[in-house]
Structure 1
Amino acid sequence: MALGNRYKTAPGAGTLAAFVLVLVFGSPWYSDWVDDNTDPETAGGWWLRLLSWPRWRFDASDSLRDVIVGDLKAILLVVLTALFLYLLPGSQLARARGTISQFFAGWAAYIFAGGFAALLATLFLSNPSLLSAFRAAGAGAGYGLFVGWIVGLASLGGWRGTR
């Protein structure tokens, strides 16, 4: 028996899409590849580099604090996406599965999550400033704007979570 959309919730599917985006495109392997093999002055190169925005890294020589703070942006992006997908009313109040409100709720959740994740992660860095926090939030929201449609598509067609 196939487990189709019958068991898919909109927030769950959107969170899974965000997790996969961060896991794959934020990985050190993808980040190194995109830096070495793309031209940021072309649309394709810009897009591929944008996908790697929530970069995460881990190294055995790093302390646990350095790993957590360094990867906080990627962790918060997934956690806040899940939170905003549950809080935004589009996916919960939609009368029918697959409505456009689910798509926009997923997209908006990723924009908000990107902005807030960058803002909060910047505050944990050494010598944070309000200007650097604002710049980071703008970069995170920009990432969410151009990549969040993927999360919106993933949440499209899911159940509201309760029947």
Structure 2
Amino acid sequence: MIILGLDPSLSSTGWGVIVCEGARISHIANGQITTRAAAPMAERLAALYTGLAEVIAQHAPARAAAEEIFVNKNPQSTLKLAQARGAVLAASGAAGLTVNEHAARLVKKAVTGTGAAEKAQVAAMVKVLLPGIAIAGSDAADALAVAIADAHLSPRS
């Protein structure tokens, strides 16, 4: 089963594609969809939607997985994250994908063994679980972690 992991963000949405065969996982691809900070919101959201639609068309995942939204101390940051997440979920839904949602702490725990892991620990463990891969950046590492967690936490269907 091919799983698309997503780490939504307005500035840089990470994505990672893995294949899960039984208990074995393998890397297919990963990357980041970036937007220009100076661009209007509608343009940025369209770029996320279009970029993710291209990833989905290229890799044909069976399902997607995304981190659940968390509330920042800054309400504006939370709102921007929610808008980016909406564009990502809309692109997934338009492609007919089921999207499993996982709490960030649960993803970290599934990949590193602790829900309080730092970003660097998550990226290091992703490299251990998917040896020899080149990770496109920290957002892509987080997206791969989401996909890996989903492979372990969600039913195989």
Fold match by TM threshold 0.5:
no
Q: Normalising by the residue count of structure 1, what TM-score does the alignment of the two structures yield?
A: 0.25
More strand by share: 2
Larger radius of gyration between Structure 1 and Structure 2: 1
Q: Normalising by the residue count of structure 2, what TM-score does the alignment of the two structures yield?
A: 0.26
